Structure 1
Amino acid sequence: MTPAALPPLLPRAAHGGPGQVPFSGLDFSVNSNPFGPNPALLQAVRDADRTQYPDPTYHAVREALAAWHGTTPAQVALSTGASDLLHRCVRALVPPGAAVLSLHAPFGELARAVALARSPLSVLDDLTRPWPADTALLYVGQPHNPTGRILPASAWPLVLRRAEEQGTLIVVDEAYAPFTTLDPPPAHPQVLRLLSPGKAHGLVGARPAYALASADLCARLDNLAPAWHLSAGTAALLERLPGASAFLDETLPQVQAGAAQLAGQLRALGEVEHHGTPFLTLRVGEAAAVTSQLWARGIKVRDCASYGLPGCIRVSTRPPEQNAALVAALRAVLAPAESSQALGGETHE
């Protein structure tokens, strides 16, 4: 096979969280529940039997999730992380050269999957505008990362009608929906719901994820997965998930309150976009430079350049005392003269 026929070699997508360079400060770059992990789900992971192969069909896990969502086991597709499901969606449903559309800037793994498939990716901020005629897949972050914007209920009839007319699959990424009061998307054969509960339960390292879709689509996604594609711990977490909501009832109101308070404090420093999610964006001018300066102060944030927002950083709420440290560091970086005066220092021309 000639090199031109092989998938291109692409750099990894940018993400928050740990990287190759060690960091031991306060990390605001990860959108995970700061009050986690959920003790019940953590115990499920610890108790999982790692001495035996799991059932390769994961039937008990599918049954538990299907009963919880009022669907059938055949309409549940399991995954280690939402990223894997996005890559499989593109491989299964986007013909070579067909268009992929994203409402606002896409999650980096979707963009990378589309690039590996050598298909064009278009970004729209308004889905009432014309779509490419051969749009095979539409990605909707509900809510969107990093802006927190949503596709309003009033827009769904038009979006579904176009999807039916053009044969477009709508992938609704609900990674951050548990942090909000959003209703699920309409049940429809053209809609795939993508859920990654590790964020809300503070267990992102376990990588739990699953899709709810038609039986045919789930079969196509399963067809692209290797045998035993979930570890025993991840499978156990997902099987226990339906009975683990008490942790969310207790902690998510605290997350919402903390994020709202943080947004209010940061509005004194720049333009903030926040729509009830645990994260928000702050316009800082040169985000790369600000990110570097904060790193030097022991604060890690997410530079939004990979989302097409090079002037913004994204931060996710943490406990109050840590949020206060973030605000103080940002004030020092963005308004050093004012900070020096507030501390009784002197400034010089």
Structure 2
Amino acid sequence: MKASEMFELMHGGPDAQGAVPHDFSTNGNACGPCPGALQALQATDASRYPDPHYLRLRERLARLHGVEVCRIVIAASASEFIGRITAAVSQGGGGRVRVPRHGYGDYLRAAKAWHFEIATADSAADLVWCCDPGSPLGQPQEDLMSRIGPLSGGATCVLDLAYEPLRLEGTLALSGAQRDTVWQLWTPNKALGLTGVRAAYAIAPLAAQDMAGRLVRLAPSWPLGAHGVALLEAWAGEAAQRWLAESLATLRAWKAEQRALCESLGWRCFPSVANFFCAEPDAVYTAGRAAALRQAGIQLRDTASFGLPGQVRLGVLPPASQQALQRAWIASRP
């Protein structure tokens, strides 16, 4: 990948032309938005600053995860935290990073901004990124447990759990004790079907007080606005967790239908445990083809920027959107 490409923002979702009716390019929970979270957002008083220390919010998140409040670090978004912890590692003298083979581009984008070198092994890295389930493939990260074990004593490991709440099969292959050795990054807006609200938090490892303090010092004042606070407070409540659990059954059914539809079009679908999967269409996914689909209200995520040319990533959507994809794909054939 060229250096100029490294800094190009590549993401699914609306672009300068706006949103489409059937957006398969992002991975939010298509059963959403979560009613309780949406109600909390609508009732938010945006005329006041939130508590700059977010004490009540951090207490709620700590109860949700069964950890001490001091381990909760608030972030404006996953991307903001990625940039901030990369800066913190650099400030501490680190300069080597290890990323998944296919993964979120902001890991490398932040590393390049701080002049990190790519480490050839986890044991040689100062900052190690893991993601389970990973994007774009939606698969568990290979050898996750063995990757965490050989880290050097001063290495910082971050486990991105953006899609853990939307895991449709299996469980995370880490014990509670193993989780306590890594940073856990949570971004509930996807699970709640409210990706337009930016809010995230991280759980610090047990022995990371110095790094946690450094991250707090590097944070801007009020990283979360009132709506971000409302989203995370709703997320930590029983109603939202119950709604999420119920939505997973619907997503499993929709995913099975969507895979079957894609296969009926002649596409090759790849394994996934999350609410999205990658597929190789029966014809080259050209810019012209993408434009024709967009004209028909369909948007897919080209995975070339993930290092997977010739494939697309599809978030699971309801049957009506799946049928729209089928019609548009057939109509766009030369």
Counterpart secondary structure, 1:41: helix
- Cα distance in 2 for partners of 1:103, 1:198 equals 23
What residue is the counterpart of 1:183 in the other structure? 172
CA apart distance, 1:87: 0.7
What residue is the counterpart of 1:225 in the other structure? 219
What residue is the counterpart of 1:92 in the other structure? 88
- Cα distance in 2 for partners of 1:9, 1:301 equals 20
CA apart distance, 1:10: 7.1
Residue 282 to residue 9, structure 1, CA distance change in 2 (3 Å): closer
What residue is the counterpart of 2:230 in the other structure? 236
Counterpart secondary structure, 1:245: helix
Residues 42-88 of structure 1, C-alpha deviation per residue, up to 9 Å, x if partnerless? Answer: 12222222222211100000001001111111101111211111111
Counterpart secondary structure, 2:126: strand
Counterpart secondary structure, 2:257: helix
1:170 to 2:157 alignment: yes
What residue is the counterpart of 1:329 in the other structure? 328
1:317 to 2:316 alignment: yes
Alignment of 1:158-307 (within 5 A): 158-163=146-151, 165=152, 167-180=154-167, 181-183=170-172, 185-186=174-175, 187-188=177-178, 190-214=181-205, 215-243=209-237, 244-268=240-264, 269-284=266-281, 286-289=284-287, 290-307=289-306
CA apart distance, 1:314: 0.9
Residue 157 to residue 27, structure 1, CA distance change in 2 (3 Å): closer
CA apart distance, 1:156: 4.3
Structural RMSD (CA): 2.3
Residue 97 to residue 220, structure 1, CA distance change in 2 (3 Å): closer
Counterpart secondary structure, 1:204: coil
1:111 to 2:108 alignment: yes
- Cα distance in 1 for partners of 2:256, 2:327 equals 17
- Does structure 2 conserve the Cα–Cα contact (< 8 Å) formed by 1:303 and 1:312? yes
1:42 to 2:30 alignment: no
- Does structure 2 conserve the Cα–Cα contact (< 8 Å) formed by 1:294 and 1:300? yes
CA apart distance, 1:184: 6.7
Alignment of 1:5-154 (within 5 A): 11-94=7-90, 98-121=95-118, 131=121, 134-151=124-141
- Does structure 1 conserve the Cα–Cα contact (< 8 Å) formed by 2:138 and 2:275? no
Residue 322 to residue 150, structure 1, CA distance change in 2 (3 Å): same
CA apart distance, 1:323: 0.8
- The number of aligned residues is 318
- Cα distance in 1 for partners of 2:118, 2:328 equals 37
Deviates more, 1:177-186 or 1:259-268: 177-186
TM-score (norm: length of structure 1)? 0.84
- Cα distance in 2 for partners of 1:323, 1:107 equals 25
- Cα distance in 1 for partners of 2:223, 2:122 equals 34
- Does structure 1 conserve the Cα–Cα contact (< 8 Å) formed by 2:303 and 2:311? yes
Deviates more, 1:240-249 or 1:194-203: 240-249
- Cα distance in 2 for partners of 1:204, 1:184 equals 26
Identity of aligned residues (%): 32
Q: Which of the pair has more CA radius of gyration?
A: 1
- Does structure 2 conserve the Cα–Cα contact (< 8 Å) formed by 1:94 and 1:137? no
CA apart distance, 1:144: 0.8
Partner AA of 1:274 in structure 2 = P
Residues 230-282 of structure 1, C-alpha deviation per residue, up to 9 Å, x if partnerless? Answer: 00111122123222212112212111211122112212322211313111111
Q: Which runs of 5+ in 2 are unaligned?
A: none
What residue is the counterpart of 1:5 in the other structure? none
What residue is the counterpart of 1:347 in the other structure? none
TM-score (norm: length of structure 2)? 0.87
Partner AA of 1:319 in structure 2 = P
- Cα distance in 1 for partners of 2:8, 2:221 equals 25
Partner AA of 2:315 in structure 1 = S
- Does structure 2 conserve the Cα–Cα contact (< 8 Å) formed by 1:97 and 1:118? no
Counterpart secondary structure, 1:280: strand
- Does structure 1 conserve the Cα–Cα contact (< 8 Å) formed by 2:14 and 2:20? no
CA apart distance, 1:219: 2.2
- Cα distance in 2 for partners of 1:236, 1:173 equals 22
- Cα distance in 2 for partners of 1:185, 1:191 equals 11
Residue 250 to residue 156, structure 1, CA distance change in 2 (3 Å): closer
- Does structure 2 conserve the Cα–Cα contact (< 8 Å) formed by 1:74 and 1:219? no
